[in-house]
Amino acid sequence: MDLVLRAAYVFVLVFVVTRAVGRRELSSMEPFDMILLVVIGDLVQQGVTQSDYSLTGATTVIVTITLLTVATAWLSFRVRRLRPLLEGDPVVIMSDGRIHERNLRRQRMTVEEVEAEARQQQIASLEDVRFAVLETNGRLSFATK
């Protein structure tokens, strides 16, 4: 039972941390970020299992985290009011060709990042953009004029 409680606690902790980090940072990981995630994964494993290296302990932890992940997805699907908390809401970055600086600051993004993403989607200038939305997966979507 101790392993289940530890796994549940770590699941909630990782969920809160990833929400706090922000979707944009998680969608564009650099090599250092990937290494950091591997290190965090190892630390989580040590914190959850402590010195239990048995197959039963590993199975218990994996099943617990899997069930919590499935339950979170199910709750997000079934309970509409929880969806913004669990998945987040899309954020309008630009509308009518005008950048919303406040939303950019909240998402810790720069105009240069928006311009770079527009270029990657074959949009030459932000003047050609009717609106841009930061989706819940961290990607920017654009609608051109």
CA 1 vs CA 9, 46, 101, 142: distances in Å: 12, 17, 48, 48
Kindly state the tokens that stand for 9: 């606690």
Packed helices 31-49 and 55-78: angle between N→C axes, nearest 10 degrees = 110
Q: Rounded to 5 degrees, what are φ and ψ at 33?
A: -65, -40
pLDDT digits (tens, 9 = 90+) for 59-117: 888 889 889 989 998 998 999 999 888 888 899 999 988 899 999 999 888 999 999 99
Can you tell me the distance from the alpha carbon of 129 to that of 131, in angstroms, rounded to the nearest whole number?
A: 5
Domains parsed from the chain with CATH numbers: 2-87 (no CATH), 91-144 (3.30.240.20)
The residue count of the chain comes to 145
pTM, to two decimals: 0.65
> Residue 145 and residue 130: Cα distance in Å, rounded?
5
